[in-house]
Structure 1
Amino acid sequence: MTVNVLFAARAEKWEDYETPLNAAFEKAGIDADLRTEFPPEEVDYIVYAPNSWLQDFTPYTRCKAVLNLWAGVENVVGNETLTQPLCRMVDEAGLTQGMVEWVTGHTLRLHLGMDMHINGQDGKWRTYSPPVAQERPVTILGLGALGQACGHALAGLGFPVTGWSRTEKQVEGITCLYGDDGLKQALSTAQILILLLPHTAQTENILNADTLAMLPEGAMILNPGRGALIEDTALLAALESGHVAQATLDTFRQEPLPVMHPFWAHEKVTVTPHIAATTRPETAAAVIAENVRRGEAGEPFLHQVDRTAGY
């Protein structure tokens, strides 16, 4: 039996995904008809990007699941017309590995003080002896798949890693804290703080004037998670006072980041254009195909979103 799969993302993405998805379906033994247009009542699965043209799921009465191409689902999880199971993208070979590389690279950059030499090619001989990794505590807010993978990579390099989550977790090699008291403790030792939380009502502005004050003097921040995790004005104030020494930001409340935003010109801020963890068609296609296979076999979907939690 042929499975009808609607690809609902921006038109330019179809060229990137058509061949990898068809190849993944074939490898999984799925007879799939993959298109960018179907009569809604004939669609079995939707491969979806939240910025696509599809915003009303009501006509898709036969659809068994909506398979998100992004790790983040905050722009779709609240859609009241979406009653089908929603699965977020968790792709260890592509998306997760990309995040680990970005986080590890920028953590080492800040830890080693590389900007001093990269930006200081002016004939001055600048000497700086950074501490070794074992002397630089790192805290990760968010212990989902991405947070755990980054934590393991940094711990493998010798950094003492503390992870914080809203609910209790146990992760080998990482000191795990949770709840309000745990957050205060996790921030208090964070010489480098990495934000990898989803954007929910509970996590919005989790880094604000009060929580920034809990960080050690001279702490450095990486945000490859979500822009709304940080209260921008509070971060700018902490940078100006010197309490926060540097912020490297990959995600923002408005993207692209407006050209006049003060982050662009701030000497203590590095902006990267939401590139920390991009979905890679070849590896993401295999995740999509596996979930379609599971749906057809009556097995539980992978990475199904908890609507009440928001992720």
Structure 2
Amino acid sequence: MTYKDAGVNIDSANTAVSRIKKYAKQTYDSNVLSNVGSFGGLYQFDQENVLVSSTDGVGTKLKIAFMTNKHYTIGQDLVNHCVNDILVMGAKPLFFLDYIGCGKVYPEVIEGIVKGLSIACKENNCSLIGGEIAEMPGLYKEKEYDLASFIVGKVKRKEMIDGSNVGKGDIVIGLSSNGLHTNGYSLAIKVLLEHAKLKLEDRPKGLGCTLKDELMKVHMGYLKPVSEVLTKFKVKAMAHITGGGLVENIPRILSNGMSVELDKKNWKVNAIFSLIQKLGHISDEEMYRVFNMGIGFVIIVNENDVSGILKILSKYSFKSQIIGKAVDGNKKVILNN
């Protein structure tokens, strides 16, 4: 089974992005510092500071929220996802806005969503300054909604991280994820609930919890640990491992002439991914292109700084480890068994 079988075509999405780049670039002025496809949009605010913005959603993880009638964790997912995206450039969040489109407004559901947004915004020192609720009967089913967001952060121009200094032999450190985060849910639902006929209350072997609890785990936020690293060490590049997995997200922050080699044996793949792969008969290639496969965030640093960085990260609840190194190449990820 593939992501395309579940209705998601990554190649089509990539083609769409390549086709719209020219239209976006026609609007740029001299203050725009980034290209379409970056983790965040960069805009020179003044001589010292750069605004970093991003927009995103939580995809079909919403379906699990609908099934469980649990909505506040979705809000947390969304904030953490967006904060991680702008963190890639070294930015810290300033403010956040949300958009909720629904078939019918249920006040208790809206309250749950925004409660989750508030929880995560407070955790990330980010102000939730506005949003929109759009009730559109006939467009959305009555008890369903879509959720999107917009975040703006700030970084000093001289401290901005863009991957341009990554060199051969630099080390790739992987910060572990706690599960799917907010990506690959269309395929996960297709395999687990539709193909394998599992129930959300089932406890598949190896998970240690119900399928519902596994699929609703909150997308991890990496702002605090990474910020601590940034205060003490020079980080050359970072990547948030979202849709497209390690294979498509790391190349987004590599300069021409550089690739990375990753050793799969160096980190533990979460049990949920092994379950999906087994039940869906999915190839390794497809798994690593769809899911984060146990790594939620990547930092690329000089070899001499690795031990100090790992010491800092060891204080946090997730595991961090060396997962590979930078090599000569053409912006590719080479996965070694």
Give the TM-score range, shorter chain. under 0.3
TM-score normalised to structure 1 length: 0.25
* TM-score when normalising by structure 2: 0.23
Higher relative contact order (CA 8 A, sep 6+): 2
> Over alpha carbons, which structure has the higher Rg?
1
